[in-house]
Structure 1
Amino acid sequence: MSTTIRPLVIGHRGASGYRPEHTRAAYELAFTLGADAVEPDIVATRDGVLVLRHENEISGTTNVAEHPEFADRRTSKTIDGDAITGWFTEDFTWDELSTLRARERLPEVRQASTTHNDGSPILRLSDLLEIVDQHPEAARRPLKIVAEIKHASYFASIGLPLDELFARDVREWATADNLIIESFEQSVLHRIRDRGIPGQLVFLLESSGAPSDLIAQHGSKARSYADHLSDEGLAQLAREVDGISVDKKMLMLKDLAGNLTGTNDLVDRAHAAGLLVFCWTLRAENRFLPKNLRSSKQPEQHGDWLAEFRTLMDSGLDGVFADQPDLAVTARG
Structure 2
Amino acid sequence: MTEKLRARHPLHRTGSLAVTPAVVGHRGASGYRPEHTLESYRLAIAQGADDIELDLVVSADGVLLARHEPDLAFSTDVASRPALADRRSVRVIDGEPVESWFADQLTLAEIRTLGAVERFADVRPGSAEHDGAFGVPTLDEVLSLVARETAARGRTVGVRLEIKDAAYFASRGLPIEEPLLDSLARFGLDHARSRVTIMSFEPTILQRLAPLTRVPLVQLLDEPHLRPADLEAAGDPRTFADLGSPAGLALIERYADGVGPRHTWLVDEVVGPDGSAAVVPTDFVRHAHREWLTVHTWTLRPENRFLPAAFRRPDDAAGQGDLAGYAQRLLEYGVDALITDAPDVCLAARDADVQESLAG
Identify the residue that residue 159 of structure 1 maps to in structure 2. 173
In the alignment, which residue of structure 2 is the partner of 1:183? Answer: 200
> Does 1:116 pair with 2:130?
yes
Is it true that 1:200 corresponds to 2:216 in the alignment? yes
TM-score (normalizing by structure 2): 0.88
Query: Which residue among 66, 80, 83 is the counterpart of 1:52?
Result: 66
Amino acid of the structure 2 residue aligned with 1:198: R
- Pick one of 196, 213, 216 that aligns with 2:230: 213
**Cα pair 1:258 1:291 within 8 Å, conserved:** no
Q: Is 1:323 aligned to 2:341, yes or no? A: yes
Q: Is residue 288 of structure 1 aligned with residue 306 of structure 2? A: yes
The answer to whether structure 1 residue 269 and structure 2 residue 287 are counterparts is yes
Pick from 26, 39, 51: which aligns with 1:12?
Answer: 26
Determine the structure 1 residue equivalent to 2:36: 22
User: Unpaired segments of 5 or more residues in structure 1?
Assistant: none
Aligned residue in 1 for 2:11? none
- Counterpart CA distance in 2 for 1:191 and 1:327 is 36
Give RMSD over aligned pairs: 1.8
Does the CA-based 8 Å contact 2:281-2:333 persist in structure 1? yes
**Which residue of structure 1 lines up, in the alignment, with residue 248 of structure 2?**
233
| 8 Å contact kept, 1:293–1:303 | yes
Q: Deviation at 1:297?
A: 3.0
User: Residues 23 and 233 (structure 1 numbering): CA distance in 2 closer, same or farther, change over 3 Å?
Assistant: same
Q: Supply the distance in 2 between the matched residues of 1:89 and 1:179 (Cα, whole angstroms).
A: 24
- Mapped contact 2:115–2:131 kept (Cα < 8 A): yes
- Specify the alignment match of 2:89 in structure 1: 75
| 1:90 is the counterpart of 2:101 | no
Name the stretch that deviates more: 257-266 or 48-57.
Answer: 257-266
**Does residue 222 in structure 1 map to residue 240 in structure 2?**
no
Distance, in Å, in 2 between the alignment partners of 1:235 and 1:192 is 18
Is the Cα contact below 8 Å between 1:6 and 1:317 reproduced in 2? Answer: no
CA–CA distance in 1 between the matches of 2:172 and 2:149?
36
User: 2: CA distance between counterparts of 1:149 and 1:305?
Assistant: 27
Q: 1:258–1:290: 8 Å Cα contact kept in structure 2? A: no
Q: Please report the TM-score for the alignment, with normalisation by the length of structure 1.
A: 0.95
Identity among equivalent positions (%) equals 38
Structure 2 residue aligned with 1:126? 140
Q: Which residue is equivalent to 2:354?
A: none
1:292 to partner: Cα distance: 2.7
Residues 230 and 258 of structure 1, relative CA distance in 2, 3 Å threshold? farther
In 2 relative to 1, CA 77–4 (structure 1 residues): closer, same or farther, beyond 3 Å? closer
- Go from structure 1 to structure 2 and tell me whether the alpha carbon gap of 1:210 and 1:138 turns closer, same or farther (over 3 Å shift): farther
Q: How many residues align?
A: 330
Mapped partners of 1:233, 1:120: distance in 2: 41
In structure 2, how many angstroms separate the alpha carbons of the residues matched to 1:108 and 1:5?
Answer: 38
Residue type matched to 1:188 in 2? I
The match for 1:245 among 247, 260, 270 is 260
Match of 1:100 among 114, 117, 124: 114
Cα pair 1:37 1:145 within 8 Å, conserved: yes
| In structure 1, distance between residues paired with 2:152 and 2:211 | 29
Single out whichever of 48-57 and 230-239 deviates more from structure 2.
230-239
Tell me the alpha carbon deviations over residues 127-159 of structure 1, each in whole angstroms, 9 at most, x when there is no partner: 000010001576422211100000000100110
What letter corresponds to residue 225 of structure 1 in structure 2?
Answer: F
Return the alpha-carbon distance in structure 2 between the equivalents of residues 211 and 107 of structure 1. Answer: 29
Distance 2:154 2:278 in 1: 37
Q: Retained in 1: the 8 A contact 2:150–2:157?
A: no
Shift of 1:5: 4.4
Query: 3-state DSSP class of the match of 1:120?
Result: coil
Whether 1:65 and 2:79 are equivalent positions in the alignment is yes
